[in-house]
Amino acid sequence: GQSLEQPSEVTAVEGAIVQINCTYQTSGFYGLSWYQQHDGGAPTFLSYNALDGLEETGRFSSFLSRSDSYGYLLLQELQMKDSASYFCAAAGEGSNYQLIWGAGTKLIIKP
């Protein structure tokens, strides 16, 4: 089967750094995407890793290791507005258009 596993909830303090992990099991893997979704809102794209290594975009960075079928999203200098659900997603079996999504990680930020 195809699946992406990520923690259901992570709690961190404002100003801190938090890492959200994602392990995947898919065939025909092309890359790992990360999306943010606030309660009641639509998912918004954060980053995409096609190659191994770290991609940095402002306060957010994303990492991929194909050999370990593992990636993570790193959020630095946490702000209250970062409280949201974060999803990893990957192209699935036999398709490079059909994204398979994890169940999401709810990030709770405390002041």
Partner 1 sequence: DTGVSQDPRHKITKRGQNVTFRCDPISEHNRLYWYRQTLGQGPEFLTYFQNEAQLEKSRLLSDRFSAERPKGSFSTLEIQRTEQGDSAMYLCASSWQGTGTTSEQYFGPGTRLTVT
Task: Give the binding range for partner 1 (CB under 8 A) out of 17-25, 43-51, 53-61, 62-70.
Answer: 43-51
Is residue 87 near partner 1 by the rule CB under 8 A?
yes
Is residue 50 near partner 1 by the rule CB under 8 A?
yes
Is residue 45 near partner 1 by the rule CB under 8 A?
yes
Is residue 71 near partner 1 by the rule CB under 8 A?
no
Is residue 7 near partner 1 by the rule CB under 8 A?
no
Q: Cα 74–45–51 angle (5° rounding)?
A: 60
CB 55 within 8 A of CB 47: yes
Please count the CA atoms within 13 angstroms of the CA of 68 that sit on its side-chain side: 11
